[in-house]
Amino acid sequence: MLLDWLELHLALEGRLDHDGTASWKHRSVYELVAAHGRWFIPAALPAEVQALPERQCFANAAATEQEHPHLAYTEGFAVADGSPVPTAHAWCTDANGYVIDPTWSDLGGSAYLGIVLPPPLRPCAPRNWGVLEAPDSLYRLLRDGL
């Protein structure tokens, strides 16, 4: 489902005029994730990782990475169990590609496609928007690439 959704977005954007962004490395966040993202393996939240509030995934993943430095902050798209709709989401991953998701600890996720972002790229307070959602960070990534 997530792959079909991403391919649909890529096909639709291919029909758009990109005059102002023709020289950019990527035309959209969908293209960026398709080019640099990878699939991650859903897993149960480990006992040592605290479940955090829903609807704050970007801040939650950043805080979890700070508390557990062996984990990596990851952003992309995910599908919550029982949901038919992929959404922009953030989580952590371990060295083996397993998802450590402090936000969806109760819901669980059935599919995760994302990018392990370099350490300087993290959500910024007070808004804590995702790096792949905040205009100042997203546009730079689309224009210049990773």
User: Tens digit of pLDDT for each residue in 19-39?
Assistant: 678 889 998 999 999 999 999
pLDDT band at 96 (very low <50, low <70, confident <90, very high): very high
Q: Which of 33, 57, 39 is nearest to 142 (CA)?
A: 33
Mean pLDDT over all residues of the chain? 91
With a cut of 90, say whether residue 66 has pLDDT above it: yes
128: left (phi over 0), alpha (psi -120 to 50) or beta: left
- Between 3 and 51, the higher pLDDT residue: 51
Q: Are 75 and 89 in contact (CB under 8 A)?
A: yes
With a cut of 80, say whether residue 133 has pLDDT above it: yes
Average pLDDT of 124-146? 90
pTM: 0.90
The domain segmentation of the chain, as residue ranges, is 2-144
User: Phi first, then psi: what are they for 141, rounded to 5°?
Assistant: -70, -40
Kind of pairing, strands 38-40 and 87-93?
Answer: unpaired
With a cut of 70, say whether residue 103 has pLDDT above it: yes
Q: Which residue has the tokens 């062996």?
A: 70
With a cut of 90, say whether residue 44 has pLDDT above it: yes
The whole-number pLDDT of residue 42 equals 94
Q: What is the C-alpha radius of gyration for the chain, rounded to an integer number of angstroms? A: 15
pLDDT band at 18 (very low <50, low <70, confident <90, very high): low
The whole-number pLDDT of residue 2 equals 84
